[in-house]
Structure 1
Amino acid sequence: MHGNPDRFVGEPVVVTEKLDGGNTLLHVGKVYARSVAVPSNDKWMAMVKKHHAWKVNEPAVYLYGEDIYGVHSIAYDPVAEHETFYAFALRGEDGAFAAFEELEAYAERLEIPVVPVLFKGVFRSVAELRAFIERVQTEPSALGGEREGIVLRLARGFPAEEFADNVCKSVRVDHVRTDEHWTRNWRPCRIAGRAGSS
């Protein structure tokens, strides 16, 4: 999980669900897939473009999230069109990652969903932290279906160069369960209210 789990003991942390989607950046009204070099025009970015990208228009704001519109390995329960993107991190002009509550406030103001929060608080020991992670890893996703994993981070903000010290993730065993990359025969997630979405 992390080389120094003590890092997450005795200080406020946030545990969120690691969704099975595409790591996506919203910046100056555009959508980027992992890179800020060239905006993405891929079909599976259609819903985040339609519902959220245009809202994030400040040059100094970088909003990161998981886009589940294109199904990867897990097919979640049907979601509304505007709930195919879930924010998980916010960076500002100085490049630092904002505190989680700043991310929540920003996303709430713009009506952008945030990744499901599983825990906010303080763990008193590494054993307590491990027991919690082992338990929530076996629970179903907040979106229905399997849970891919969890992300653990310090609740406070921190410089980008300290990311590896202050954030870690744990994913299910064999979390990639397809023989070919999901983009080869991509399919959209089930959208609530559409015929065939059940």
Structure 2
Amino acid sequence: MPSGKYGRTYHYPFSPGTTSDDRINFDYWNDLQQIKTVVHTEKLDGENNCLNKWGVFARSHAAPTTSPWTATLREFWHLVKNDLGDLEIFLENMYAVHSIRYQQLPHHFYVFAVREADRWLSWEEVQFYAALLELPTVPVIEIENTPGNRPLFEEKLLHKTASAGVFDPVDTATGKLCTLEGIVSRNTDGFHNHVFAHNIFKWVRKGHVKTNEHWTRNWKRASLKHEGGNYVDFNNR
């Protein structure tokens, strides 16, 4: 059976978008000092999905998902399921609009992690397997070696959070242009599941979720920059 859902990513202490059930890594700086190379990626506003040989799963791995916004992804899974082996492909499902609508979205599904048994594969391996599946990875903001100055590191990261990211986001609640949802930082090397919280960190913008009712009730398909292009949507090619 699957190894379990994606681990809980702890927030940086200076992340303003924490909620009551979020966890904060107050010792993140010491963890970073043990990491040779860090990759910062854009946190996209989608649904965490997992593809493995058993099916397509949402945040919970209790049973495969049957949601309408994973229909095309499940069709894609049928084409690749026999090639996955023990790999579990974690991706951001952008098929449905959540709190952010992206005006320049070229694809609906973005790989951000790959797990094999109890080990999270390196970022290089993530890119390799994503390319084999002809799926993009989440946008890379920066790759850097072990940071040596904590105030400068935090200042630089906060500066990056003020940008719009790469897909021209609009806040669905206000209809106005907005900044990116957040940043996820991870060790570029592979690591075991039991040290997950010491190798991945995130920053999320304040007040990110603004919709009064859950997005699933009246969900809408996210439009793509080039409709009819090379993306995983069997109903709209």
Cα deviation for residue 159 of structure 1 reads: 0.8
Amino acid at match of 2:46: G
Q: Is the 8 A contact 2:56 2:77 kept in 1?
A: no
2:48 paired residue among 23, 33, 36:
23
Please give the alpha-carbon distance, in whole angstroms, between the structure 1 residues aligned to 2:79 and 2:26. Answer: 39
Match of 1:112 in 2: 135
Q: How does 1:1-198 map to 2 (within 5 A)?
A: 1=12, 2-6=25-29, 7-9=31-33, 11-28=36-53, 30-51=55-76, 54-57=79-82, 58-80=84-106, 83-93=107-117, 95-122=118-145, 123-145=147-169, 146-194=179-227
Cα deviation for residue 124 of structure 1 reads: 2.4
Please give the alpha-carbon distance, in whole angstroms, between the structure 2 residues aligned to 1:194 and 1:69. Answer: 13
Q: Is the 8 A contact 1:47 1:84 kept in 2?
A: no
Amino acid at match of 1:68: M
Amino acid at match of 1:169: K
SS in 1 for 2:101: coil
Cα deviation for residue 129 of structure 1 reads: 1.9
Of residues 139-148 and 111-120 in structure 1, the stretch that sits farther from structure 2 once superposed is 139-148
Q: Is the 8 A contact 1:67 1:84 kept in 2?
A: yes
* TM-score between the two structures when normalised by the length of structure 1: 0.89
Cα-to-partner distance string for 1:112-160 (whole Å, 9 max, x where unaligned): 1100001112122222321221011110021111310000111111111
Q: Is the 8 A contact 1:63 1:91 kept in 2?
A: yes
SS in 2 for 1:169: strand
Amino acid at match of 2:48: N
Change (3 A) 1:69 1:127: same
Please give the alpha-carbon distance, in whole angstroms, between the structure 1 residues aligned to 2:203 and 2:194. Answer: 21
Q: Is the 8 A contact 2:55 2:77 kept in 1?
A: no
Cα deviation for residue 178 of structure 1 reads: 0.6
Cα deviation for residue 3 of structure 1 reads: 1.5
Change (3 A) 1:129 1:56: farther
Please give the alpha-carbon distance, in whole angstroms, between the structure 2 residues aligned to 1:137 and 1:27. Answer: 32
SS in 2 for 1:104: helix
* TM-score between the two structures when normalised by the length of structure 2: 0.75
Amino acid at match of 2:152: E
Q: Is the 8 A contact 1:17 1:116 kept in 2?
A: yes
Quick check: which one's helix share is greater? 1
Cα deviation for residue 193 of structure 1 reads: 4.5
Q: Is the 8 A contact 2:42 2:184 kept in 1?
A: yes
Q: Is the 8 A contact 1:26 1:62 kept in 2?
A: yes
Question: Gaps spanning 5+ residues in structure 1: where?
Answer: none
Cα-to-partner distance string for 1:17-75 (whole Å, 9 max, x where unaligned): 00000011011172110122211111111232344663254230101111111111000
Amino acid at match of 1:5: Y
Question: Gaps spanning 5+ residues in structure 2: where?
Answer: 1-11, 13-24, 170-178, 229-237
Q: Provide the aligned length of Structure 1 versus Structure 2.
A: 192
| Greater than 3 Å deviation, 4+ residue runs | 50-54, 192-195
